Amino acid sequence: MSNLDRQATPSVCGGRGFVVAEPVRELLAPRRVQLGEGTEVRRLLPNLGRRMVGAWAFVDHYGPDDIADEPGMQVPPHPHMGLQTVSWLHDGEVLHRDSLGSLQTVRPRELGLMTSGRAISHSEESPKEHARLLHGAQLWVALPDAHRSIEPHFQHHTDLPVVTAPGVTATVILGELDGAVSPGTSYTPIVGADVTLAGGAEARLPLDPDFEYAVLSMSGEAEVDGVRVLPGSMLYLGCGRTELPLRGVSDAGLMLLGGEPFEEELVMFWNFIARSGDEIVQARKDWEEGSRFGEVQGYDGARLSAPELPTTPLKPRGRVR
């Protein structure tokens, strides 16, 4: 759940400047980014034209990669603040370690949810003995101001609620969908769901018209509100919808992401979400000096150093769409 871009640039997010108050169909193309030593990801958020979807502030899709003879995911210890990380797998395993002492292997359709709050550090790696394929999504949820400095904690949930219809299964990862509520702790009105469609199946997912939504295509081929989506793409849907038509062109896997538009303006840099450039500067200093974020025990390798800060000031700014 990490941004390992060594040429990291600040991103201004949040506020209602980018929110579309009506239904739209905006297909987002990914940017390819190298994640650690052996994994390339397709980055959908933040995107050039779309910074957030509700409180969802960062979305990477990776795989399916054949790692039978490879080390797989190898992400050294690094810091986070002001956000939650969501680890979601379709294939493979990821071993999570953090500065709280957590040690947990996350497997397909299990929720690994790390709330950084004021500060945490963690590492992610494929276990030495691992499955042939690695395929999943890594996501961040921005914490609202009232909760962004809470004590960090980690949750692992293996039993998640499921909503079903003929040819369709939706596992509720975070928040609520059709009355089913995830056990994962959330701090804003939000939904994240993993949707499996059989080829030829049609369904209409119930939505909240006050939420903005997007759909990430994980596998196969599907039509979302009449738009064909392929793996590694994301369709932004705007607000104002009460339902979402889906059709499986083939067997397909999708992720529904949504939430109440995030009111606060944010500054994102590297693995930090803050409200001002000064907070980013201090967080980087604290990480480089070895304070505040703790230490990850047991990872075989050095921790990551932070990228250089830009020379221009980091600050939110008003925007008009």
pLDDT in tens, 140-174: 999 999 999 999 999 999 999 999 999 999 999 99
Distance set, CA 100 to CA 12, 107, 116, 273 (Å): 30, 21, 10, 20
Higher pLDDT, 314 or 79: 79
**Is the bond preceding 46 in cis, omega lying within 30 degrees of 0?**
yes
Tokens at residue 201, please?
A: 């199946």
For residues 137 and 59, the answer to whether their CB atoms sit within 8 Å is yes
Q: For 287, list phi and psi in degrees, rounded to 5.
A: -65, -45
Over the Cα atoms of the chain, what is R_g?
Answer: 19
pLDDT of amino acid 35: 66
Alpha carbons 168 and 36: distance in angstroms, whole number? 35
Higher pLDDT, 49 or 122: 122
pLDDT of amino acid 14: 59
Alpha carbons 20 and 4: distance in angstroms, whole number? 30
SS (H, E, C) 122-183: EEEECCCCCCCEEEEEEEEEECCCCCCCCCCEEEEECCCCEEEECCEEEEEEEEEECCEECC
Alpha carbons 122 and 102: distance in angstroms, whole number? 9
Band of pLDDT at residue 316, cut at 50, 70 and 90: low
Order the strands of the 111-115 sheet from edge to edge: 31-35, 39-45, 56-66, 133-142, 83-91, 111-115, 153-157
SS3 286: helix
This prediction has a pTM of 0.92
User: Which residues 6+ apart lie within 8 Å of 162 measured at CB?
Assistant: 169, 170, 171, 172, 180
Tell me what the mean pLDDT of segment 190-204 comes to: 97
